[in-house]
Amino acid sequence: MAVDQSKIRNFCIVAHIDHGKSTLADRLIERTGLLTEREMQSQVLDNMDLERERGITIKSQAVRLIYKANDGEEYILNLIDTPGHVDFNYEVSRSLAACDGAILVVDAAQGIEAQTLANVYLALDHDLEVLPVINKIDLPSADPQRVIEEIEDVIGLPAEDAPQISAKTGLNIDSVLEQIITELPAPTGDASAPLQALIFDSLYDPYVGVIVFCRVKEGTMKAGDKVKMMATGAEFELVEVGYFGAGQFIPCDELSAGMVGYMTASIKNVRDTRVGDTITSATNPCKEALPGYKKVNPMVYCGMYPADGAKYPDLRDALEKLQLNDAALQYEPETSVALGFGFRCGFLGLLHLDVIQERLEREYNLDLVTTAPGVVYRVHKTDGEMIELTNPSNLPDPSEIEYMEEPMVDAEIMVTKDYIGAIMDLCQERRGIYVSMEYMEESRALLKYVLPLNEIIYDFFDALKSRSRGYASFDYEMKGYERSELVKLDILINHEMVDALSFIVFKDTAYERGRKMCEKLKQEIPRHLFEIPIQAAVGSKIIARETVKAMRKDVLAKCYGGDISRKKKLLEKQKEGKKRMRQVGNVEIPQEAFMSVLKLDED
Amino acid sequence: MELYVHIPFCVQKCKYCDFLSGNYDVKLRERYTYALISEIESYKERFSEETITSIYIGGGTPTFLEVVFMQRIFDAIFQNFHVAEDAEISMECNPGTGSLEAFKIYRHMGVNRLSIGLQSANEDELELLGRIHTFDKFETTYREARLAGFDNINVDIMTGLPFQTWNKLSNTIKKVTYLKPEHISCYSLIIEEGTPFYNTYKEDVERREKDLETEALPDLDTEYDLYKRAQQLLEEKGYHQYEISNYAKEGKECRHNIGYWKRVPYLGVGLGAASLIDEVRYTNVRDISSYIEKCESDESVRVEEIELSKKDAMSEYMYLGLRMNKGVVRQEFFDVFQITVEAVFGKVIKKNEAQGLLMAAEGRIFLTDKGMDVANQVMSEFLLD
């Protein structure tokens, strides 16, 4: 059965976080009758627990809708959901490559936010037609006319006819569906040309192997075809092709040019199907691969160790599986004196790190110890060699270092007038260099700063939110590397250096951070039977010190009415607690302590 | 065999208390009494061969229960069990409950040891704890007990109270020792979850864990000083420490409690009571209505049964035995388990000896003074995997 290309629309929805993207997706699914209301679980596309809990979309999801338009024709709408957070731009870019158009959701009260712009530019980069939609018009503070002007002025898109909807109540959803048909283009491509299909995602299923999500640009693919991955060279025979239901895979006879769907081919090795690669026919290959996605480099690195050393192989397997549909995740084995065998992992940002960590803990049931995240520094050695440093422990001896560079970002902070001062102070404290400020409208300004990435990776976002009472939003782009005075701060516990606690820090803040780190560790490390000095050092110079005093009293007095089992539980808990600690020399360090560097600015 | 009887009634609940107790009304107290009696009766046959060497009536506040009800309970005990002639029979009492007449009746029932919960001699501390009495009321109760003929009295006091200073604690100790009770229990306050104290002081508890300055609770060092100086002052006043929190004049140690540390079998009756019989630990149901309903319909009130393996028993023998200053007698361990204590715990003993926490001498293994201070650290190492 050949599908008429003019009856297909492949589109995604882009929006600033919390502007109602997932709710609109739900409404579209509901309205097209893919699921009955009873089957609808709120936010169908966010199918990871984690996504639903946090209200963010992490992974791209795709779903096929059938819509009978006002012209009496039935259309196939392939909706590809995209993540909204800056850390997941990469995922957005993957999804966009599978689409021909994009719906831009803008909050009728908040208007255009930093992420709105970033997503629109991404969509335009991919030559997508953009259809603006104004959401949340049911809010008392909604001001659609102002938002229409904003869209026209800032983005330059005509917005006078943009559907004004409430995804929450379902108001005007039909006009969105109609405009998808009338405003967004149908796919092009020749169904009889040599096969050319772009892999935009994949996941691993223990029964059928890798399930590859693809957009067919040219040609046709069906079960039994022999196909070839153009980058890896791997060849497979297709077992099944199909499209996406809501949360399920529906097999079909063939996928032809313009269609979005999936294929399986008993692919066992997850590395054979790289996201961004082009699938072509093994017998009648196309001439050129499709342009892949922009390769992304991790910005933030940290060490991840299994709390139970015996779980190391489990962690390795889990990382491998996660990497399959999260190509931005990178990892390589490392060992630490204090933490044993683990991995140095690279992430796009701190939220990405957080999400991966939680997925490892929840979906793979792993208990992890994570070391303080750091950025990639460039170390220029006196012998002319340049190394990219992802693990502070690998910093060469200072005598071999000519100079070091750290990554900088161009940061844009949108903030309401009242908090401009507070936010400027924050940027100042974080070694920010002021670039400009412009008023977007009377009450809001866009502040531009150049900031070192390492100053924003742990808690900048939290600080921003707390100092602006939630009124600031923040986006950044990598700017490149700049020369900087950096030193390695080491922590010595009972006179032994703990490698997993070392970090790179700007020279002038080393003393302050060292002092705070010692204070924090003093709270985290329980008293032992002997006194424990905690020292911060740069090179051989001790710059801060705290002491964990010796334990003097630990008795449980009351043991009532012969209720021994309660006392026993307490002793068992104590013994268990010790097992969970990491032994460095004769000091037992709780696993939480390794993360304590993250919380230095809490107070 | 020892017998423990739980009376879960109080005039009002103290703010730090997480034991099973409450005021309830007189109807419920009566129903509980009869439920308790039927539980006692249910064990008659099973323990017909046993001799009860000590009885402990604990609570709650046993002296808050109507004397007539207590009389019925004692009748049931003596009718269903064989109680040794010289059995130690203790009863807990809180100041402000009981009277000269009541004490005389208790004496007559056979109670020969009274344990009075004073906790503090300072009025501000008593109020803070949510106690119903003043120090004067305690003194009255104490003198009435003496008049009624009690010649073996314990007084409970507490260290580590919020805002406690050595001045306050030493005042309590001095006032108590002046009255010359035979026995003093000196407990450290533990802030238990689920108590009003926990809600009030949980931030302090967390801060103390992190070794930070505290607001109300004594910090770790102050708490240690209070505990240590109390120990010294009590010794000076002629009370020797025979167990982590118990002090007595020579020969007046509480036999019942020593029984717990030596793992003498005991039967616990009443709400939430624990038993150790034939190496099984039982716990009774902790909800008062289900306790009463179960007793009334002749169902078992035991809701938890833990069979102890030989390893469990050996661990318990050590960590309970080490609570006593005399510690564990090597030969006794061998008599019970048919294996030497060194063969099982040699490594742990050596390690703790090297750290100066444990000593092995004169056929005994016992905690040093330093080891007693950090007893939990040592004891947790005696748990066998």
Task: Give the tens place of pLDDT for each residue, A330-363.
Answer: 899 999 888 889 999 998 877 788 888 888 988 8
Rounded CA gap, A296 and B93, in Å?
74
C-alpha B231/C-alpha A552 separation (Å) is 14
Per-residue tokens: A541: 């110079």
Q: What is the CATH number of the domain that holds B372?
A: 1.10.10
> What residue numbers bound the domain in which B348 lies?
310-380
Residue A568 Cα, gap to closest chain B Cα (Å)? 8
Query: Based on the domain organization, do B173 and B314 belong to the same domain?
Result: no
Kindly state whether residues B238 and B325 are assigned to the same domain.
no
Same domain? For B30 and B167 the reply is: yes
Establish if B276 belongs to a structural domain.
Answer: no
A555, B316: Cβ pair inside 8 Å? no
Do B24 and B103 share a domain, yes or no?
yes
Note whether B244 and B330 are same-domain residues: no
Whether B284 is covered by a domain: the verdict is no
- Model pLDDT, residue A560: 59
| Domain membership flag for residue B302 | no
pLDDT computed for residue A599 by the predictor: 64
At residue B86, the pLDDT reads: 96
Question: B264 CB near a chain A CB, below 8 Å?
Answer: no
Same domain, B255 and B327: no
Give yes or no for residue A534 having a pLDDT over 50: yes
- B339 and B253 within one domain: no
Q: What is the mean pLDDT of residues A10-15?
A: 86
Better pLDDT: B253 or A200: B253
Q: Is residue B177 part of a domain?
A: yes
Strands of chain B, DSSP E: 2-7, 51-59, 82-93, 113-119, 153-159, 183-188, 240-243, 246-248, 266-269, 274-277, 280-284, 302-307, 328-329, 358-361, 364-367
> Are residues B95 and B233 part of one domain?
yes
Q: Average of pLDDT values for B295-324?
A: 94
The predicted model gives A432-439 an average pLDDT of 92
Per-residue model confidence (pLDDT) at position A601: 59
- Would you call A568 an interface residue with chain B, using a CB distance cutoff of 8 Å? yes
Q: With a cut of 0.90, is the ipTM above it? A: no
Q: Is residue A50 scored above 50 in pLDDT?
A: no
Where among B261, B278, B293 does a domain terminate?
B261
Question: How confident is residue A43, by pLDDT bands cut at 50, 70 and 90?
Answer: very low
CB atoms inside a 10 Å sphere around CB A413: 26
Query: Tell me, what's the pLDDT at A290?
Result: 79
Does residue B57 belong to the interface with chain A, where contact is any CB pair within 8 Å? Answer: no
Let me know whether B17 and B105 are in one domain.
yes
CA dist., res. A46 & res. A289, Å (int): 31
Q: How far is A371 from chain B (nearest CA, A)?
A: 21
Residue B318 in domain: yes
The pTM of the full predicted model, rounded to 2 decimals, is 0.68
Tell me how close the Cα of A554 comes to any Cα of chain B, in angstroms. Answer: 4
Q: Do B276 and A564 touch (CB under 8 A)?
A: yes
Summarize pLDDT for B90-149 with one digit per residue, the tens.
Answer: 999 999 898 999 999 999 999 999 999 999 999 999 999 999 999 999 999 999 999 999
Q: Which of B261, B291, B319 is the endpoint of a domain? A: B261
Determine, for residues A523 and B224 on separate chains, whether the beta-carbon distance falls below 8 Å.
no
**Which range is least confidently modeled, A354-358, A434-438, B67-71, B106-110?**
A354-358
Q: Quick one: B36 and B160 in the same domain?
A: yes
**Is residue B363 over pLDDT 50?**
yes
Mean pLDDT of chain A: 83
B289 within domain boundaries: no
Q: Which of residues 527-566 of A touch B (CB under 8 A)?
A: 527, 529, 548-549, 551-565
Chain A's closest residue to B271, CA to CA, is: A561
Top pLDDT among A404 and A71 is at A404
Q: CA–CA separation, B2 vs A592, rounded Å?
A: 46
Answer yes or no: is B270 within a domain: no
Question: pLDDT grade, residue A274 (50/70/90)?
Answer: confident
Show the 3-state SS of A222-258.
ECCCEEEECCCCCEEECCEEEEECCCCEEEECEEECC
Closest in B19, B281, B374 to A529, CB measured:
B374
Structure tokens at A472: 């600031």
| Residue numbers in A near B19 (CB within 8 A) | 560
Verify that B178 and B64 share a domain, yes or no. Answer: yes
Q: How crowded is residue A509: how many other Cβ atoms within 10 Å of its Cβ?
A: 16
Answer for the pair A504, A392: CB distance below 8 angstroms, yes or no.
Answer: yes
pLDDT of residue B159: 94
Residue B14 structure tokens: 């103290």
- Give CA–CA dist A257/A351, Å, rounded: 36
Number of domains in chain B: 2
Residue A292 pLDDT: 64
Tell me, what's the pLDDT at A547?
94
Q: Is residue B116 part of a domain?
A: yes
What is the reported pLDDT for A44?
Answer: 47
Q: Which residues of B touch A522 (CB under 8 A)?
A: 211
Q: Which residues contact A356 (CB under 8 A, 6 or more apart)?
A: A322, A326, A329, A345, A347
3-state SS of A529-589? CCCEEEEEEECCEEEEEEEECCCCCCCCCCCHHHCHHHHHHHHHHHHHHHHCCEEECCEEE
What does the pLDDT look like over A123-181, one tens digit per residue? 887 788 999 999 999 888 889 999 998 888 878 888 888 899 988 888 888 889 999 99
What is d(CA B236, CA B245) in angstroms, rounded to the nearest whole number?
16
- A463-477, A479-493, B269-283: lowest mean pLDDT where? A463-477
Pairwise CB contact (< 8 Å): B381 & A575: yes
Residue A603 has pLDDT above 60, yes or no: no
Q: Using a pLDDT cut of 70, give the percent of chain B over it.
A: 100
Choice between A225 and A200, residue whose per-residue pLDDT is larger: A225
Per-residue pLDDT at A488 exceeds 70: yes
Least confident of A374-378, A491-495, A584-588, B300-304: A584-588
In tens, the pLDDT along B223-251 reads 999 999 999 999 999 999 999 999 999 99
Does the pLDDT of residue B220 top 80, yes or no?
Answer: yes
Considering the domain architecture, whether residues B244 and B335 belong to the same structural domain is answered as: no
* Rounded distance between C-alpha atoms, residue A346 and residue A353, angstroms: 8
Q: Check CB contact of B275 with chain A, cutoff 8 Å.
A: yes
CATH value at residue B130: 3.20.20.70
